[in-house]
Structure 1
Amino acid sequence: MRPLARRRLLPAAVLTAVLTLAGCANYSGIVPEVRQLDAAALDGGAHFDAWPEEGWWHRLNDPQLAALIDAALADNPGIQAASARVRRAEALAGNAESALWPNLGVSTSNTRERFSEHGMIPPPYAGTTRSINELQLLGQWEIDFFGKNRAALRAALGEAAAAAADRQAARHLLAANIARAYLNLARLIAQRDLAGERQRQRSELAELVQRRFAAGIDTRITLETATGALPENARDIAAFDEQIGSARHLLAALAGKTPDAIDSLNPALPADIAIALPETLPAGLLAHRADVTAARRRVEAALNSADATKAMFYPNVNLRGFAGFSAIGFDQWLETGNRQQGIGLALSLPIFDAGRLRSLYRVSTANLDEAVAAYNGALLEALRDVADPLTTLAALDRQIAHQQATLQSAERSFRLAEQRYRADIADRLSVLNAEAGLINQRRAAIDLQARRLDTRIRLIHALGGGFSDTPAATLAHQ
């Protein structure tokens, strides 16, 4: 065989030998152990329209609440930290993408050196002190034959998508928490106002019993009962004032404001939330839950990370080249005769590494198992988060219906007592007693109404709060 033909066959023979050795890559016996749940099998696989929509709080017909949530989403430190994590994950994805492309750089050096008289440098430089000068353009490209870098990029994109979903989850949780805290403040203010009415009613009752006691109609026990209710109700008013202050402070903290920033806020409890539930609930849960989406993205990232680790068992193929000038002394440094260039292919294959790669692959599969377990847990928790409010809403509807009937009965009793009093058929005491019963029923109605509104907000959050997933493939270019 001619020398030229042998030189052409040599690289192919080397590559064939390397690929043959690659067959020795041994990751057998290392497999994931946790099985991923099938979301479609759990939720029935049906479909429903996108609900709720993004920015659902603007449809509650309460400008104060909408302004609070908008300000919080802009100023809340937790959201700002989540945004920083997204930017970091996107930057890491960009770094992973750069491994797919060639690297090009330039280097220059100047070394002052005395050459040995009996070394490798011959006369006339032997025994003299000269400058060694180099200027080179360097290039390197790791040819991703086995997909290691592509898998690493997909893993980084998955983490970036998971971070973006986490940010959305934090935004939706914050919006829901502000809405719930706002409605709780409205409930406390309504109960505080009702406690003021009750204080007025009890004061009038105490004065009436005092006169009846003086006239010998009522006993001292009746008098003590009537007058003792006044400090008890004053205590309840003070407790409501404390809770109202704490509720305002909580809202201020959630909105990223100082504790006294919303001291003048006095929301009213609405009769209902002006967002109708969809007719079918909610089979396509995964499309609307940011936390479940983030967990699923992390499973995908862990799968790709395991693939990248598996590819480390196979050869690395690097194409390297350089071109430039090298000379002893400045005077001839950049002359044509001092130019140098070269190109080469470097192959490396792990054969014996004392189990390092197998250990790394075990770490990757363990990370995958952990991600799958976290996804399974997030999915089951999401399904429970929806089931609980639906159960509560059904029970509250029945309770509110019964309470409405009880409240209407108490209102009729109060009106009848007033009519009898105006007709001189009954005394004022019967009117005050009927009014006490009516106030108690109003208290119960306010609490049930507030619970129903709070549960509606919980359901909105459980259904994802209007989340829409961001495709991971676009994140590296944002």
Structure 2
Amino acid sequence: MKTASLFQLSSLRLPLCAAMTALLGACASYQGIAPGAKAIEQVNLPAIQAAQQTQDAWPHEDWWRAFGDAQLDRLMNQALTNSPSLALAQSRIARAQAASSLANAGSGPQATLNTDASYGRQSENYVMPKPPLGKGGEYVSTGRAAIDFGLDLDLWGRNAALIRAANAQLDASRYDHDAARLALTTSIARSYAQLAAQYELQDVLLATQKQRQSIRTLTDQRIKSGLDTRVEQKQAESSEASIRADLAQLNTSMEATRLQLAALSGQMPTAAREIGRPALSAPAYAVPQNLPLDLLARRPELAAQRARILAALGDADAAKAQFYPNINLTAFLGFQAIGLNNLLSAGSMVSGIGPAIHLPLFDSGHLRANYAGKVADIDGAIAQYNQSVLTAAQDVAEQLTRIAALSTEEEATQAALAASEEAYRVAMLRYRGGLSPYLTALTVETQLLAQRRAAADLRARRLDLQVALVRALGGGFHDNAAPLATNKH
């Protein structure tokens, strides 16, 4: 009989071992899931000699002060204090800070005080040994008051990964605030430069209006002398009225620009009337020598995208840790009794300590699907970052190209303006002397107006390109980010 029993036991070993092997092999696995995207770590820009290159040419945080305009400084300060867009970005930082604190709290020990009391019928066949005679089946009160302790040992780094992800999201929200600040300040500067250009165009139109008034007075004199007809008189009146219409349209545009500046600086529309004529001085233009090297660290939106890659990596690490056993240490200390009158007696004291182990075996692919989704988030974050890098490189190259071509265009425009000024002077002399008709003088004067407008437009473009380049270079932002490592999954 004993031999038969041993034979039966030995015959069970093979299927038992096979079952254990199959059980372990059926555990959830993350094999075969890994990110495939690679982040761009270097920027290549064309060799464009737009201007002098200096090591200290990167914009400073308060870059707009280089324009030397006290009114612009005041608008910037009001915007940085009152802008709703910056307040929204700040609220997102506070939200990310709370999420980071929550993730950090999850890695520490937890202790809670739990008390409960109940009254009900006791089973005659529940506790071991059976209740004393006369107790089973009776209605009694029970109670428990204890402090329960818990600690996640985090052997596989899940909590640490969640903390890294939360901290990276906090960094991203801070960089988003920097990006919002840069977008706001450059928008104000570009609108302010536009207002300066509108004032300069107003000067051109007023000077032209004065010229046309002089021409109309001269035409009236020539009509009295019989040298011109009413046709020339109506032409002079028409050209003068055209300038008045241009001035009225320009005044409307200037008022709209002031309203835009008031809104951007976080003020009500009534503040627009207090914005006077800009007094901008164009700062000396220079390009940083280490432009390609430092561009990735000088753009706040690129730093935000890098932080989101790190956050995605942390989330993926946390998802991978779920494939391993989760071991928690639990303990309790307190009182438990049948009969509330006995709850706080010395004999009712209870305590205990021990591990709680959770090992996923069969989950129908839930863990793999979750991990695959987190890995896909890594690829998506890297793709967004790479797109931002390409956009940043294109932005900088475009601004450098435009600025490089601006000097040549300015020289040609100045030459054309000088020629138009001389042509207008000669045409007016001939018209006064009766050697050429009014139509010739009007044609030359129209060409002169066009060249004056072109010169004013070029000066406005130079200011606008200065601000655009400041935005492209990051506006004084700097992030000492380490190279991304995305191939460990």
Aligned to 1:27: 30
Report how far residue 54 of structure 1 moved. Answer: 1.0
Give the C-alpha shift of residue 124 in structure 1.
Answer: 4.7
Task: Please name the residue that 1:225 is paired with.
Answer: 235
User: Equivalent of 1:370, from 374, 377, 380?
Assistant: 380
**Which of these residues, 19, 36, 39, is aligned with residue 36 of structure 1?**
39
What SS does the aligned partner of 1:138 have? strand
Distance 1:222 1:330, change over 3 A: same
Alignment of 1:71-150 (within 5 A): 71-116=78-123, 120=127, 121-150=131-160
Q: Aligned to 2:228, what secondary structure does the other structure show?
A: coil
Q: Which runs of 5+ in 1 are unaligned?
A: 1-16, 473-478
Matched with 2:245 is: 235
Give, in whole Å, the separation in 1 of the partners of 2:218 and 2:25: 100
TM-score by length of 1: 0.85
Are 2:470 and 1:460 equivalent residues in the alignment?
A: yes
Distance 1:42 1:323 in 2: 67
Residue 220 to residue 275, structure 1, CA distance change in 2 (3 Å): same
Among 263, 270, 281, which residue is 1:260 paired with? 270
* Cα deviation code 1:190-233 (max 9, x no counterpart): 21232222222222222322332343322444333222112222
Counterpart secondary structure, 2:270 = coil
SS at match of 2:341: coil
2:183 matched to which residue of 1? 173
Structure 1 SS opposite 2:85: helix
Correspondence for 1:203 among 208, 213, 218: 213
The residue aligned with 1:312 is: 322
| SS of alignment partner, residue 318 of structure 2 | helix
1:321 to 331, 334, 344: 331
CA RMSD for the aligned pairs? 3.3
Cα-to-partner distance string for 1:239-294 (whole Å, 9 max, x where unaligned): 11111111111111111111121213123363513565445544310111000111
Q: Distance in 1 between matches of 2:289 and 2:442?
A: 46
C-alpha separation in 1, matches of 2:441 and 2:419:
14
Q: 1:283 aligns with which of 288, 293, 303?
A: 293
Counterparts of 1:89 and 1:221, CA distance in 2: 74
Q: Given the alignment of the two structures, is residue 389 of structure 1 paired with residue 399 of structure 2, yes or no?
A: yes
The one-letter code matched in structure 2 to 1:71 is Q
- Aligned AA (2:91): A
Work out the percentage of aligned pairs sharing the same amino acid: 38
Kept in 2, the 8 Å contact 1:282–1:463? The answer is no
Q: Aligned equivalents of 2:432 and 2:280: distance in 1?
A: 34
Q: Deviations over 1:356-412 (max 9, x none)?
A: 111111211111111011000000000011011111111111111222233344455
Alpha-carbon distance in structure 1 between the residues aligned to 2:267 and 2:310:
38
Task: Sort the Cα spacing of 1:48 and 1:91 in 2 relative to 1 into closer, same or farther, 3 A.
Answer: farther
Q: In 1, distance between residues paired with 2:71 and 2:458?
A: 23
Comparing 80-89 with 461-470, greater Cα deviation is found at 461-470
Pairwise CA distance, 1:107: 1.3
The answer (yes or no) to whether the contact 1:190–1:269 under 8 Å persists in 2 is: no
Amino acid at match of 2:410: I
Name which of structure 1's ranges 67-76 and 456-465 shifts more when overlaid on structure 2.
Answer: 67-76
Aligned partners of 2:421, 2:220: CA distance in 1, in Å?
27
Specify the alignment match of 1:51 in structure 2: 58
Q: Which residue type is aligned with residue 213 of structure 1? A: I
Q: Deviations over 1:131-171 (max 9, x none)?
A: 32211111111111111111111111111111111110010
Cα–Cα, structure 1 residues 40 and 233, in superposed 2: closer, same or farther, change >3 Å? closer
CA 1:340/1:55 → structure 2, altered by over 3 Å: closer, same or farther?
same
Give the alignment's TM-score, normalised by structure 2. Answer: 0.84
- Secondary structure (helix, strand or coil) at the match of 1:327 reads strand
The 1-side partners of 2:296 and 2:25 are apart by 41
Q: Could you tell me how far apart the structure 1 residues matched to 2:226 and 2:444 are?
A: 23
Bigger mean CA deviation after superposition, 425-434 or 210-219: 425-434
For 1:190 and 1:163, how far apart are their aligned partners in 2?
41
Gaps of 5+ in 2: 1-19, 48-52, 483-489
Pick which of 174-183 and 358-367 moved more.
358-367
> Per-residue displacement from partner, 1:52-90 (whole Å, max 9, x unpaired)?
111111232111111111211121111111111111112
Q: What corresponds to 2:74 in structure 1? A: 67
Q: Contact (CA 8 Å) 1:48, 1:284: kept in 2 or not?
A: no
Does structure 2 conserve the Cα–Cα contact (< 8 Å) formed by 1:59 and 1:275?
A: no
1: CA distance, partners of 2:233 / 2:434? 24
Q: Is the CA contact (8 Å cut-off) linking 2:28 and 2:363 kept in structure 1?
A: no
Counterpart-to-counterpart distance in 2, 1:334 and 1:249: 74
162, 165, 175: which one aligns with 2:172: 162
- Equivalent pair of 1:36/1:372 in contact (CA under 8 Å): yes
Q: 1:438 deviation in Å?
A: 4.7
SS at match of 1:467: coil
Distance 1:124 1:185, change over 3 A: farther
d(CA) in 2 for partners of 1:343, 1:471: 44
Give secondary structure in 1 for the equivalent of 2:114: strand
CA pair 122-256 structure 1, distance change in 2 beyond 3 A:
farther
SS in 1 for 2:337: strand
Structure 1 residue 114, shift from structure 2 partner? 3.6
CA 1:122–1:72 in 2, change beyond 3 Å: closer, same or farther? farther
For 2:167 and 2:432, locate their aligned partners in 1 and report how far apart those are by CA, in whole Å. 78
